[in-house]
Amino acid sequence: MAEVQQSTNQQKVSLYLVPTPVGNLKDITFRAIEVLQSADVILCEDTRTSARLLQHYQIQKPVSPYHQHNEHKIVPHLISQMQSGKVFALITDAGTPGISDPAFLLVRACVQNNINVLCLPGATAFVPALVVSGLPAHRFAFEGFLPPKKGRHTLLTKLAQEERTIILYESPMRLQKTLFELMNYFGESRNCSVSREISKMFETHIRGSLLEVHNYFQEHGVKGEIVLVIEGKND
């Protein structure tokens, strides 16, 4: 029988997952700032990107890179540091760590070593995009980024039959291609919503059928970070 583990605020926390703003720097909680100010080391996906946030809130703590290219290598060292008493805060470039961003390997290693981990509530791009899409939000399937090649056809074929609202992340360079593919798999009339630059000055939400939204961006071009919300199959 597996051993039951319990994590609570009352136990010493060695790793905090701290959501950071996806756009406006004001979209951060007081608690997140307190945690960043109190941690021994802040792990950053990109230290140059995080520097802007940390400087804005006058947070002066040691920073160390933690990203998809080094996480396999440094996780054992981080676990050792936590076991010796150090407290780490993990932030990514934007949003909640672990949601289409690095965090899983370190969290899993902490769980395996009975190290207490807490994730603060906070910003993530797909929630506001879903809520303002006008599509059903009580049940949804979050898929993050589609695989670029291997497994793409299989996943799109499966998603075409998904009855829940579907949420994808996409880059502006690939959005038109993805919308065209979705028309082929889902049908041109399937409703969708494209949210770009959430919480930034030029935040925009474009709603309509896949064909209508594809044609809109074909005419106007695409810029900024993209969240694509697609109606589930309803027939």
The set of residues, in sequence order, having a beta carbon less than 8 Å from that of 143 and lying 6+ positions away, is 155, 159, 166, 167, 168
Report helix, strand or coil for 114.
coil
| pLDDT score, position 82 | 97
Lowest mean per-residue pLDDT among 2-11, 79-88, 89-98, 180-189: 2-11
Contact 158, 168 (CB under 8 A): no
Please name which of 199, 195, 186 lies closest in space to residue 217, comparing C-alpha atoms: 195
Q: How many domains does the chain have?
A: 2
Confidence bin at 6 (pLDDT 50/70/90): low
Domain coverage including residue 72: 15-119
Please determine, for residue 13, whether its predicted confidence score (pLDDT) is greater than 80.
yes
What is the C-alpha separation between 84 and 82, in angstroms, rounded?
Answer: 5
Q: Report the mean per-residue pLDDT for the chain.
A: 94
Q: Max Cα separation, the chain?
A: 59
Question: What is the average pLDDT across 21-25?
Answer: 94
| Res 139: pLDDT | 96
Percent of the chain with pLDDT over 90: 91
Judge whether 81 lies within some domain: yes
| Domain CATH code at residue 95 | 3.40.1010.10
* pLDDT tens-digit readout, 168-213: 999 999 999 999 999 999 999 999 999 999 999 999 999 999 999 9
Residues 159 and 223 occupy one common structural domain: yes
* Within-domain flag for 191: yes
Can you read off the two tokens belonging to residue 125? 């791009």
Reported as a pLDDT band with limits 50, 70 and 90, residue 164 is very high
Residue that terminates a domain, selected from 75, 101, 119: 119
CB contact at 8 A, 32 and 123: no
**Per-residue pLDDT tens for 106-152?**
999 999 999 999 999 999 999 999 999 999 999 999 999 999 999 99
Quick one: pLDDT at residue 4?
A: 62
Rounded to the nearest angstrom, the gap between the alpha carbon of residue 85 and the centroid of all alpha carbons in its chain is 29
114 plus 133 within the same structural domain: no
Q: Is the pLDDT of residue 1 over 60?
A: no
Which pLDDT value is given to residue 11? 73
Q: Is 4 domain-assigned? A: no
Domain boundary among 119, 138, 154: 119
Same domain? For 114 and 135 the reply is: no
pLDDT, mean of residues 71-93: 97
Question: Quick count: other Cβ atoms within 10 Å of Cβ 179?
Answer: 23
Domain assignment of residue 147, yes or no: yes
What's the rounded mean pLDDT across residues 24-51? 96
Is the pLDDT reported for residue 80 higher than 60? yes
pLDDT of residue 2 exceeding 60, the answer is no
Whether residue 103 lies inside any domain: the answer is yes
- If one compares 147 and 7, the residue with the highest pLDDT of the two is 147
